Chains A and B, each alone.
Chain A
Amino acid sequence: MTQAFHGRAADLSTCEAVTEAARIDGMKILIIEDDLETAAYLTKAFREAGITVDHASDGDSGYFLASENPYDVLVVDRMLPRRDGLSIISALRAKGDDTPALILSALGQVDDRVTGLRAGGDDYLTKPYAFSELLARVEILGRRKGFRDTETSYRVGDLELDRLSHEVRRAGQTISLQPREYRLLEYLMKNAGQVVTRTMLLEHVWDYHFDPQTNVIDVHVSRLRGKIEKDFGEPLLRTVRGAGYMMKAEG
């Protein structure tokens, strides 16, 4: 987490690759957050990343905006004046609105996250968080909107992953991976072109919702990298400084 956690300046300057992708999407998000300073910071940072931002500072107006306008992602603070974040999400879900929602919360314990996700949230981030972490998650959620993952294979550059046979090939050569390495690669390739943070990898590949103190993920990624990139030309698995990793083919 330490590496993933950088200041504003560091975040904004090291996320250029992400920003580029986002601009093409023209993503529009709604932030429901009652702390005005946080909201102003988030709005500015998201705009600099090329994302259009609306802001609501209480539960009622947040629910109103969310039900009146189409958004790609909702970023919802859990504790809000007038109406709490979870009830906004469950109310939207109840009327069939499945806009991806990311819950921001000061409560980070096991059961809090579970209640958040049960209420219909798609992702849960505990305050305080690095902006790069939030941005990466919002972008992945935004891309997910209206998108069913039915692909049977992923391809990045000359790297291919067959989700049915669990075979991985690069430039026609079969690469043998451990089951966990396979899942790591699958998650990275599924989100190719997006920044994937270390915490996200821990959550999705290992189903761990806490931060180990050592750099476990980096070691696993570098092992994986050794297998898929050694002896092959172009690097596909990049490290995004201060944020995480990204699978992307050159050009």
Chain B
Amino acid sequence: MGRLRAMLGTTAVRLSALYLALFAICAVALVFYVTAISERMLRDQTRRAVAVELSAISEVYENAGVVGLVRAVDRRSRQPGANLYIVAMPAGEIIAGNVASLQPGVLDTDGWTALPFRYQRYGSGETRNHRALAQIVLLPNGMRLMVGRDIGEPEQVRGLVRQALMMALAIMFVGAVAIWFFVGRRALKRIDHMSEASKKILAGDLSQRLPVAGSGDEFDRLSLSLNTMLGRIERLNEGLRQVSDNIAHDLKTPLTRLRNRAEAALTDSHDGPSHRKVLEEMIAESDQLIRTFNALLMISRVEAGSAAAEMSQVDLTGIAIDAAELYEPVAEEAGVSLTHAIAPGIRVTGNRELLSQSLSNLIENAIKYVDGASPARIEVRLETDKAGVHLSVIDNGPGIAGDKREDVVKRFVRLDESRSKPGIGLGLSLVEAVAALHGGRLELADAAAENAAMPGLKATMHLPGPIA
């Protein structure tokens, strides 16, 4: 019962009902129109037949007088058919014809009776009334002649048409109910599936997706766009979860260390220089924490796409040259030769600061991990081809083993297990997020694949573009 009520409440059912009502109104109007027309046609036909008959009888009267007329009428009255005849005295008394009685007043009219009238046929034994149309002529001697025709036939046609109409309406109703049932139930079922899936999602299972039937209809399109939305929410949520995990795991440790130092300094009886040293260490430690915090926040904001608003046309060539130039002295001091091969005039749609910072991260990483190679070399390369723009930092250091490349992009993952190098393990995560924000990706590859003389890591940001 509840199901029926739910179905009656569906849009499909309401729409079908509305259509049904509209169709019914149209059908009724059409049928009325058709009946009216056919009725008029039949009446015209009747009148024509009556007129022909009348003129024939009038001719008899003119030739043979009243006696001939009465005889002719008598003869015609005996023939079967729908024709009616009356010859009446001026007072109204019927002297010949096939009509026993008729609606009073009909014989007084001159010419066509305006409306069908009732009469009773003579000698037929039938007592029920018939309806007829007739023409009445006043003869020169004061007698009246009426010639008419029963219109039972057209009435019958009208009845038939009405019946057909009722039939058609009944079929339409049955059809509409069937459509209600199938369309409404189908729609209802799919909506039920969608709301079931939504309930699961609401309960916290963001991996659920709305069902897509594959027909490409409105429901599918709705499901698809909702699914895209869910995917995005899931990613954001995942990012958020990761940040809170990071806070729990990776920030707790330095915070604990910080606290321990303060505690140790408190219990330390030596004042002065040693306290000062501890304080300085603590500040350095908090700096590191703050930097970690900022980097985490920045990554999640970039991942959430909120920096996308600040996109503009940027000179990637300039960005690459600036970064290479900024780090060149640092590299040199670290005993690394930093060269660049930067294609001129490359512009992309992007965020200058994020791109600069990403490239800085890649260069800093290269400087940090290139050691061991002799002579150590780093190349900053910007090139473009059909696939887009490629901004790479290539080094001849130890590189990253194939199976580790996916890991290093994750937050707080550092290959340097001893953690002897400075860094927090967020650099590549940011680069990846920035590349994704720009519609591109970060690729870590073996540099030896293209140049055996530079066996190391080739970190490339593949970006769409360039702008012509």
Contacts and interface: CB of A to CB of B under 8 A. Distances in A.
Interface of A: 1-2, 5-7, 9-10, 108-111, 114, 126, 128, 180, 206, 208-216, 219-220, 223
Given A109-B298, A212-B364, A219-B330, A206 B322 contact: yes
A5 B367 contact: no
B354 interface: yes
Contacts of A114: 310
Nearest to A242: B280
B333 A219 contact: yes
A7 B287 contact: no
A216 B327 contact: yes
List the 3 shortest-distance A-B pairs measured between CB atoms, nearest first: A219-B329, A210-B357, A5-B287
Contact of B353 (A2, A180, A209, A219): A209
A109 B364 CA distance: 21
Interface string B337-349: 0000000000000
A124 B326 CA distance: 23
Contact of B330 (A10, A211, A215): A215
Nearest to B352: A207
B301 interface: yes
A11 to B, nearest CB: 10
Nearest to A10: B280
A194 to B, nearest CB: 23
Nearest to B294: A108
Given A206-B322, A212-B364, A219-B333, A7 B283 contact: yes
Given A210-B357, A211-B291, A213-B423, A220 B329 contact: yes
Q: How large is the interface on B (under 10, 10 to 19, 20 to 34, 35 or more residues)?
A: 35 or more
7 contacts: A5-B284, A5-B287, A128-B290, A210-B357, A212-B364, A213-B291, A216-B329
Contacts of B333: 219
Contact of B279 (A7, A206, A211, A220): A7
B306 interface: yes
B351 interface: yes
Nearest to A211: B291
Given A180-B325, A213-B423, 7 more contacts: A6-B280, A9-B279, A109-B301, A111-B309, A208-B353, A208-B360, A220-B329
B353 A210 contact: yes
Q: Counting chain B CB atoms within 10 Å of each CB, which of A9, A10, A206, A213 scores highest?
A: A213
Nearest to A209: B353
Contacts of B276: 9
Interface in B247-303: 276, 279-280, 283-284, 286-288, 290-291, 294, 297-298, 301
Nearest to A206: B326
Q: Counting chain A CB atoms within 10 Å of each CB, which of B288, B322, B333, B354 scores highest?
A: B333
A209 B280 CA distance: 25
B227 interface: no
A214 B353 contact: no
B35 interface: no
B280 A111 contact: no
Contacts of A7: 279-280, 283
A7 B283 CA distance: 7
A180 B423 CA distance: 27
B370 to A, nearest CB: 13
A20 B187 CA distance: 81
A100 B237 CA distance: 41
A181 B143 CA distance: 136
Q: Counting chain B CB atoms within 10 Å of each CB, which of A1, A110, A215 scores highest?
A: A110
Contacts of A216: 326-327, 329-330
B422 interface: yes
B400 interface: no
B42 interface: no
B309 to A, nearest CB: 6
A212 B363 CA distance: 10
B58 interface: no
B329 A110 contact: no
Q: Counting chain B CB atoms within 10 Å of each CB, which of A1, A206, A208, A209 scores highest?
A: A208
A111 B310 contact: yes
A5 B291 CA distance: 12
A110 B351 contact: yes
B453 to A, nearest CB: 26
B436 interface: no
A220 B333 CA distance: 11
A214 B364 contact: yes
Nearest to B287: A5
B307 A109 contact: yes
Q: Counting chain B CB atoms within 10 Å of each CB, which of A1, A180, A212, A215 scores highest?
A: A212
A223 B297 contact: no
B368 to A, nearest CB: 8
B364 A223 contact: no
Contacts of A180: 325
B223 interface: no
Contacts of B309: 111
A213 B367 CA distance: 11
A10 B284 CA distance: 13
B367 A110 contact: no
Contacts of B325: 180
Contacts of B198: none
Given A108-B294, A209-B353, A213-B422, A1 B287 contact: yes
Nearest to B297: A109
A134 to B, nearest CB: 15
Given A109-B301, A209-B353, A219-B333, A2 B307 contact: no
A243 B280 CA distance: 14
Nearest to B325: A180
A111 B276 CA distance: 38
Contact of B306 (A10, A111, A210): A111
A243 to B, nearest CB: 14
Contacts of B326: 206, 208, 212, 216, 220
B350 to A, nearest CB: 12
